[in-house]
Structure 1
Amino acid sequence: MCDYLGIDLGRSEVITFSDGNIFVRILETVRGKNIYLVQPIALRPNEEFVEILFWIDAFKRASARDVTVIIPYFGYAKGDKKDEPRVSIRARVCADAIEMVGADRTITMDLHSPQVQGFFRKPIDHLYALPSLCAYIKQIGLVDEDLVVVSPDAGFAKVAREYGLKLDVPVAIGDKIRRRHDENAEILDIIGDVNGKNALIVDDFSISGGTLVNLANGLVKRGAKRIIACLSHILLNDAGVKKIEDSPIELVVSTDSVENPYISNSKKIKIISVAPLFAEVVKRIESEESVSILFEDLPANLVKEVSTI
């Protein structure tokens, strides 16, 4: 992001003490400045969330003009409702805490539950990885008459249709059921014609890889040829990466919204950078320009920036 904007990264430090306490410190003056704090809530969600709160408080106490929190992956967006007795609406708690401690604006990408935007009272910009992912899929020549976009379940079908429209290909939908509060989902059926087709599975994130692999196996049984997957965020651990490596999936394309050390040695996983997208949003906010065009289509300069890292 700093390279794109032509600026230096702010100097700071974080110390984690032996008892688990986190200490943050700003190493330069920020009085009267607009601050953009970049931190996902991802592989270490509790530590990362608390660190965000401490940073916002530190910047406010150091007399920053305003603080914009950039959360490329908002992990607690999954907790968007009270769907059983005696549970917390975790996404609302996080949103309240972020704003109560002093955040003036939030920027995020592909919330698992888009309605979480309504939990924030202050401005929030909700970006999409879809344009960047589609641009990369086109760049490497995967779009042809045999391609079909596949959603893992009905809940993601609306987004899958957007992929289909952007790539001008048909859509199929998996019939998925999750019987417990765990990371194991069962694919019961696939709605749509995939026989003899190349399948592009699309989803917002994967933690265990179970849904992707089960869906890929179901597609193979129904006659699909090549299988590729696109994820907005990739949170796979060692076991999840091994599942992908041992599966019929040929390629998984995702973004650098999460810094994931587990995927670095995988031959099947390619990461594209959305740093230019977030940097362009910062640039437009600073110049008081509209950012809405970035929700749908990438400007030509950003399409050129879509590459693997």
Structure 2
Amino acid sequence: MTQGNSAADSRQGPRLQPFQPPQGDLAILAGSGNPVFAQKIANGLGVRLTPCQAQIFSEGNVFVRILENVRGRDTFIVQGVHQPVNDNFVELLFWIDALKRASAQQITAVIPYFSYAKGDKKDEPRVSIRARVCADAIEAAGADRVLTMDLHSPQIQGFFSVPVDHLYARAVICEHIKSLGIDNLVICSPDAGFAKSAAAFANLLGVPVVIGNKTRPDHSEQAEILEVIGQVAGRNVLMVDDFTITGGSLCSMAEVLKQRGAEDIYAAVSHGVLSKGAADRIQNSVIRKMFMTDTIEAPIEPLCEKMDIISVAPLFAQAIRSIHDRTSVSMLFPDDKQT
């Protein structure tokens, strides 16, 4: 797969003012997992994508090549770890290694969605802590820092020895929700584990929060909703989560909320992983609208009419500018109390 050399004519999302790098040169590379997302980032920064090539041979081997000089440059490889997860992850490692061997000055792995972040603990006997193994591999390949969004558990940043810039989609999502003018709104966390993040959503929107109680008996990705803690009768509800795979938990939660007297029910997730059948499940549910970011740009199945995409590429562009200019990334979230 060969990435284009020039910026697209039609720019998507808000465009940042072009700038002259204060030191060295900036290079944005697009892995095969996120070429459109990388182009949006380059558009926002007013730069072109650095030409590069990724190819999978017939026996499954991955080959990557950078098509111009990156010696001494501040480089950012945009490559999410989503389906096909293992192919995308191995490709990320090879890009990092290629940049290191090409004498790039600094290598930042830009991972819009880090799938293996779900494997963040040893919660049963004889299992791997997959997120830690991946963090070690990224560092061993030669990454100098990592830029990612909405890790399943923020403490995964501690698995890395290199700096990790952790972005949050909620500020962008909340701005979109505000533009819709939904009255009498309450935020709903699907479980206690996401309650703190849900409270941050509620703080940004100035609305109350309720918490769901769910159990997941096995690895089937299907959770059972047991109860909702808080009042939702007569309220419009926005369910929030970091990602959804099958959509089952959100649809089950929506049914419980309806039984408790909720009015219109919305859902918002940072990463729409969406396995086979998820789009139909959402379309046939009581959820009125579901909002997702564009961190995963090639879902397994087409999206349904109820799904809206909100771009976070401008936020990544601002973060890359801050990293390159050696300024604070946290200043991008002045009103967010959980950053």
Query: Do the structures match in fold with TM over 0.5?
Result: yes
RMSD over equivalenced CA pairs, Å: 1.2
Q: Aligned match of 1:255 in 293, 305, 314?
A: 293
Deviation string, structure 1 residues 195-232 (Cα, Å, up to 9, x no partner): 11111000000000000000001111111110000101
Deviation string, structure 1 residues 78-132 (Cα, Å, up to 9, x no partner): 1111111111110000000001110001001110011100000011101100100
The alignment covers a number of residue pairs equal to 296
Q: Aligned match of 2:180 in 118, 122, 140?
A: 140
Aligned to 1:269: 307
The CA deviation at 1:63 is: 1.1
Aligned to 1:162: 200
Aligned to 2:141: 101
The CA deviation at 1:296 is: 4.6
TM-score by length of 1: 0.93
The CA deviation at 1:188 is: 0.6
Structure 2 residues not aligned, in runs of 5+? 1-40
Aligned to 1:42: 82
Counterparts of 1:286 and 1:199, CA distance in 2:
39
Identity of aligned residues (%): 55
Counterparts of 2:65 and 2:181, CA distance in 1:
46
Counterparts of 1:241 and 1:255, CA distance in 2:
15
Deviation string, structure 1 residues 39-62 (Cα, Å, up to 9, x no partner): 111121111110000000111111
The CA deviation at 1:237 is: 2.7
The one-letter amino acid of 2:261's match is: G
| 1:244 equivalent in alignment to 2:244 | no
Counterparts of 1:237 and 1:78, CA distance in 2:
16
| 1:218 equivalent in alignment to 2:256 | yes
Q: Secondary structure at the match of 2:309?
A: strand
The CA deviation at 1:136 is: 0.5
Q: Secondary structure at the match of 2:277?
A: helix
Deviation string, structure 1 residues 17-54 (Cα, Å, up to 9, x no partner): 11111111111111111110001111211111100000
Q: Secondary structure at the match of 1:108?
A: strand
The CA deviation at 1:289 is: 1.1
The one-letter amino acid of 2:193's match is: G
Aligned to 1:23: 63
The one-letter amino acid of 1:178's match is: R
TM-score by length of 2: 0.85
The one-letter amino acid of 2:312's match is: V
Q: Aligned match of 1:65 in 92, 98, 105?
A: 105
Aligned to 2:115: 75
| 1:85 equivalent in alignment to 2:139 | no
Aligned to 1:198: 236
Aligned to 1:52: 92
Q: Aligned match of 2:161 in 121, 141, 149?
A: 121
User: 2:290–2:306: 8 Å Cα contact kept in structure 1?
Assistant: yes
Structure 1 residues not aligned, in runs of 5+? 299-309
The CA deviation at 1:182 is: 1.8
The CA deviation at 1:286 is: 1.3
Q: Once structures 1 and 2 are overlaid, which stretch shifts more, 128-137 or 76-85?
A: 76-85
Pair 179,296 (structure 1): closer, same or farther in 2 beyond 3 Å = farther
